[in-house]
A and B are shown apart, each in its own frame.
Chain A
């Protein structure tokens, strides 16, 4: 059984269909890149995965559980902007990943101390330990996104969703963020969905690349049909598929 199952999902806003007939099976630990033209429902698909919206038809399940009604602890999210809380310091932002689930949204005593220590570890790994007591507004874009990822990971989600997380960053910062994300992935081995506009980034980071496009197009009414997944590339081994054989071929290799 796959970890994330998306079955026959259809979503529309008003009478305008956005995405239709979406079927995806994702194994635990896979990194899925999602690409496509603007307005092809990539972000809608991510919101459905996040359970911020519920699909009109079809369902999204994680680990066989019932479809979620609202966002929760099992899904972490990093947006392009506004992902960190501006009124909390950098350290408090990471601690929020642990303390927001409590009754009062705060930790006290020894728990608080332990959470702060863990937050400092996370910050050190994100390279943010020197700004722990500053407010996010004083941080650069790349640092804010690192903080957002660190905060999402502090809550230990089962699936991490990234909505164009590096879209607003300059190319150099982007590359270092790629390294950062790849390191984190090797450590945690979590399932990641990332929406991006950058094809190179999609193939570099992803195990699979899903392409959203509109297969049916009515020139008199461009909004008549929704988008769907038109390609599902295997992006491992530099994007050249079928390199690793899935079955035992019983062929004797001559040496």
Chain B
């Protein structure tokens, strides 16, 4: 591309990327502004007064923002662990083994995402009361795993399918056991894909509201529960601050993932 051509192209690129940036960061800027707005109403385009009094309210000793944040992260981590624990064997089987009704099994994992959850969680709560899981972290984790399993299993399946069988076969042919070949060859090669599934399970868990409410509250409070109360009631400042808190773990996690995604993009060279 010649230098002369370079300039007009940047005009177009700049326009498109600028528009995209506006579409993405405009609403987010809105969130940031509300988080520090003390007074904001028509006809003022920007807040009339900035301050942190609502932050003080959110972080008041009796406010449970910090507890909720820790709870949210802990539940998400446990959910990822449990989901991967069952999704790795399942994904491997779905990718490699001969299975009856394979399509149906895959669809089964989609159901928790497909059905409006509200009536289902009411029934789950009733079940959990009987077995003493209601209001406990394990109860909430189970609900989140159920919900996030579609990402874990589907992506794990894809990741395992992407692993070259010949490498496995080569390992087997020089005498490695099936388990050994899996642990040394297949699992490491599928790891980036498994990481991707972990990210989605993590984010799903972090976002989950309805199930947490029915199964967790009042004993287990998470950020979405706080956010819901503040947001739906129209307390924009508190809702925005809670939403910002909710973004911290997501972005932190995504930064790690960024690294692995780059590696994956590079890996296409060898394919």
- Real complex partners, A and B? no
Residues of B within 8 A of A (CB): none
